Each structure stands twice: as C-alpha cells, then as structure tokens.
Amino acid sequence: MREFTEQELVRREKINEIKKFCNPYPEKYEVNYSLKEASNLPDETKNVRVAGRIVFMRKMGKMSFLKIRDLEGDLQVSIKIDLVGEEKYNFFKTLIDIGDFIGVEGEMFTTHTGEKTLRASDFTFLGKALKPLPEKFHGVTDPEICYRNRYLDLIMNENTRKRFLLKYEFMKEMRRYLEDNGYIEIETPVLSNKASGASARPFIAHHNALDMDVYLRIAPETYLKRAVVGGFTKVFEFARCFRNEGIDATHLQDFTMVEGYAAYYNYKDNMIFLENMLKTVIQKVFGSLIITIGDKQVDLSKKWESISFRDLILKYADIDIKKENTKELLLQSIKDKNITFEVEDDIENLGYGNLVDALYKKVARPHLIEPVFLIEHPIELSPLARANDDDKTLTDRFQLVINGAEIINAYSELVDPIDQEQRLLHQAELKAAGDLDAMMMDYDYINAMEYGMPPISGWGMGIDRVLQVLTGVDNIKDMILFPLMRPEEK
C-alpha cells in the first residue's frame, strides 16, 4: 500500500474541490507565445496567452503574484480580484499550489521593480501536481536524484535546462552542416545478427518471433557502408548504440553517436572536413572557440596538430611500438616499466592491438589537452581501416582528442573484401582466445563488399562525450537526459 505525506493528502483532497469548478486535467489550452517570447513583448501588448508550471506564488488579499516556467524561461504573472472576479480569485487562493499548471491570458506591463509581468484578465487551471516540488531556493543538488528523477532536475535547475537545450542545438547545427555539405541521413538496424562496426562487447537479446538471439547495435558502421555499396555517396546517422562494458565518468552502455561516410574521400580529407565542421558548429552554439573546461582554457581556433601513435607512446612510456611489435614483446616492456592497468580483463588476454590501445589510454591520453589528431594506428587496432600504402603495419586512421577524451574516431575505410575477410578471421581467433572486445566474423558484410566499394573515409563521434568535454561536466550522465540506473530498493 502506498503511503502519502500530509502535503500529498491535502493536494489529493483538493482534486474533488477543483472538479466543482472545472476539469482538473483539461484537454488543451491555446497559447500564442512561449514564456521567453512573452517576456520580450512591449508593454501594453494585449491578448497574450501563455501557459506553464507555477514555481513561485505570493498570495495576498486582492492581488497575488506567481511565476510560471517552461523549458526556456520564467514569466511573472499578476492576478487581481477585480480583473478575474471574486469567485475565480478565491479558487486560485484556496486550490492552486506550487507545481500546478496554469494558462493565463492578459496584457504585458513592467512593474516598478523592472520585472516584465503579464497582468491576467483570465486564467485556466491546467493540471494539479499531487507531489510538492523540492525546496525552491536551492533546487535539486543531489546527483543521484538528478539522474533518477531528471524531470525534477529540469524543473528546478536552470543550468540543467540550458545544458540539454545546448545539446540539441549542437545536434541540430551538426545535422545542418552535414546536410549543407551533401550528406544524406539514413537509418540502420538496432537489432542485428552480428555485432560489428567496433571493438566492443555487445548486448544480447532474444527475438521471439524469429526464435533467435540478436545483438543490439554497437555501431552503425557496416550498414552505412552497405549503403555506400548501394550508391549513397555521402551518408550519416545519429545512432543510439549499446556496448555492454564498464561504467565510469566518461562511459555509459547506451549512448548517442553520429557516424558519417564519404565516397572518394581519404582520412586526410576528413581531418580537414571535421575540423571545419566542429569549429563552425561550436562557434554557432557556444559563441566562441575559446572553451573553459574546469580550470583550463582550451583554444579550438588554432590549427589542430597531428601526432603519431608511436611518437606519443614513446614520449610518455618510453616504449617503441615499432620495435615492441608483438603482444609478447610489448607485454614484457609494460611489465618491465611497472605500468599497471585498471581494466576488467587480464591484460594477458588482450590482443596486440587492444594492448597498445590500453597502454596509450593509460600513459598518454590524459596529457592531450589541446585538440590533437592522433594518427598512424597499428593495423591490429583497426580491423575495418585501410592499411597505409607505405607501411602495411599501420592504418590510415585518426582520432581527435581534446582534454584527454576521444572525440572522433575516423579512417580511410578498408574496401578490399579479401583483406577484410582475413582481418575479421583474425579478430574471430582473438575472440575465441579470450579477447571479448575483438570483432565477430560477418560474412554478410563481406558479401556486400564483394559487389564493389569505392574509396571511402568514415568517422564516428560520441555526442554525449564531445559535449561532456565542451561543457566541462564531470560525469557523462549529466549529458544523458534519462541515464539507466540500478533500481532503488524499496
């Protein structure tokens, strides 16, 4: 049996009284301005109709003030007994609470304290809140409550509302930039027979109608490239992806990424394109290319530098991966230098490529504050990337790193189906040997490649990750509207 607080019981009792005057949950209300728009109207603008949640009230004898809120702003409203009538004014004073929804019609004016206000000539009750809002002056500050009850976080905290509006503005501007440059957005499957497109552990689900296990998408890559096989020249997708891996401040199992592929590009073309795209979008959304992240200022306006994987690890670990070019040699050097890892699996089970990646993330990536393109990845680390023409041990790939976080992963795509088949077979052997992040064999994708692919360069960007970096929030959950949480014990 549910238990209610005294305040909740009082609010529930008010429902029956409200029903004597009106429907406590009406069907609709016609507005002609948002609250933000109304707050910018000139005084004496008449017939203004707005609606919102009441977040503040000061009830007085014959005139009361309240503040209503929507996602973009607040607006003060004055209600006078001689304008709305005694019966309606008493209804307001006795039955309406903070948290309720109200629609108001009236005329704009500015108070003697300079606050833009709507003088109500009429109001309509739009919905009763059965639970009281948290204490109004300090908002909601407990991160656990914010993540579990994002609706309260949005109601009470202006910074949260601004952050998510910024996120969707960022996505809108990125989509616009891609479309303006000839990219077409498509949709790819969330459920598939093979978990491919990245080195990651998948989620497994059962498809009842087909009576078979399926994988949740870890990346849209191989299907976007199938679209290129079919004739799309430039293609992209904002894709919800799922990776059954650890949680920390920069990783979640379900996240939003955007991937794009351009026929006839190489990875160097994409370095130019993506630098221009991000600078354009960030300037529009943030109004500056000088971004404050914690106590650091990062200048994105300068030309972004490039550094090789080998040089970076040599600089920060004094290990030359050109010489330590097998799993056994690299593992011994790591042990000799007493470098330890915080990984879920024993590093003995990692293949050479994933071992190199773990070493880079441990010793080098935290030092990369200014934007930098990390290039010349070992081929074992990039099973879908094109081998470099001059050095077959390397791939034509780059990662963009800002403030120690990987923002973009991109490469010239492998379009040779024979080479791709051999690499995926090697990945399957690594998976069988215990490397759970290794990729699966995917003959359906190989079959598509065998119909012929043009030169392609593709890239992927974690939307939540890039905005975590640009806004400086500590936890990536702050960029996820409704993050998955463990159920609370009751």
| Phi then psi dihedrals of residue 117, to 5 deg | -140, 145
Q: Is the CA virtual torsion 236, 192, 190, 436 positive or negative?
A: negative
Residues 170, 315 within the same domain: yes
Residues 232, 335 within the same domain: yes
CATH number at residue 183: 3.30.930.10
Instruction: Establish if 487 belongs to a structural domain.
Output: no
Residues 13, 101 within the same domain: yes
Residues 182, 86 within the same domain: no
pLDDT at res. 225: 96
**CB crowding 379-408: b at 16 or more within 10 Å, else e:** bbbbbbbbbbeeeeebbbbbbbbbbebbbb
pLDDT at res. 438: 79
What residues make up the domain containing 470?
156-479
133, 148, 170 - which closes a domain: 133
70, 102, 133 - which closes a domain: 133
Q: What is the dihedral of CA 182, 188, 193, 199, to 10 degrees?
A: 60
pLDDT at res. 204: 95
pLDDT at res. 418: 94
Instruction: Establish if 78 belongs to a structural domain.
Output: yes
pLDDT at res. 343: 60
Count helices and strands (H / E) in the chain. 15, 18
Is the CB of residue 278 less than 8 Å from the CB of residue 298? no
pLDDT at res. 267: 95
Residues 117, 238 within the same domain: no
Beta bridge partners of 397: 411
Instruction: Establish if 324 belongs to a structural domain.
Output: yes
Query: 217: which residues sit within 8 A by CB, 6+ positions away?
Result: 188, 189, 190, 191, 192, 195, 197, 239, 240, 241, 242
Distance of CA 19 to the CA centre of its chain: 42
Instruction: Establish if 407 belongs to a structural domain.
Output: yes
Residues 101, 189 within the same domain: no
**Token couple for 154:** 């949005």
Read off the pTM: 0.88
pLDDT at res. 434: 81
Instruction: Establish if 438 belongs to a structural domain.
Output: yes
Instruction: Establish if 392 belongs to a structural domain.
Output: yes
User: CA end-to-end span of the chain, whole Å?
Assistant: 12
Residues 239, 104 within the same domain: no
Query: 338: which residues sit within 8 A by CB, 6+ positions away?
Result: none
CATH number at residue 87: 2.40.50.140
Beta bridge partners of 457: 262, 412
Query: What span, in angstroms and rounded, lies between the C-alpha atoms of 391 and 389?
Result: 6
Instruction: Establish if 36 belongs to a structural domain.
Output: yes
133, 165, 187 - which closes a domain: 133
Residues 177, 53 within the same domain: no
Query: 456: which residues sit within 8 A by CB, 6+ positions away?
Result: 225, 228, 261, 262, 263, 264, 265, 412, 413, 415
Residues 173, 251 within the same domain: yes
pLDDT at res. 490: 60
pLDDT at res. 345: 55
Residues 121, 232 within the same domain: no
Query: What span, in angstroms and rounded, lies between the C-alpha atoms of 429 and 440?
Result: 9
Residues 52, 187 within the same domain: no
pLDDT, tens digit (0-9, with 9 covering 90-100), for 1-60: 788 999 999 999 999 999 999 999 999 999 999 999 999 999 999 999 999 999 999 999
pLDDT at res. 275: 98
pLDDT at res. 402: 93
Residues 358, 279 within the same domain: yes
Domain total for the chain?
Answer: 2
Query: What span, in angstroms and rounded, lies between the C-alpha atoms of 231 and 297?
Result: 43
Instruction: Establish if 308 belongs to a structural domain.
Output: yes
Which residues of the chain have a pLDDT value below 50?
none
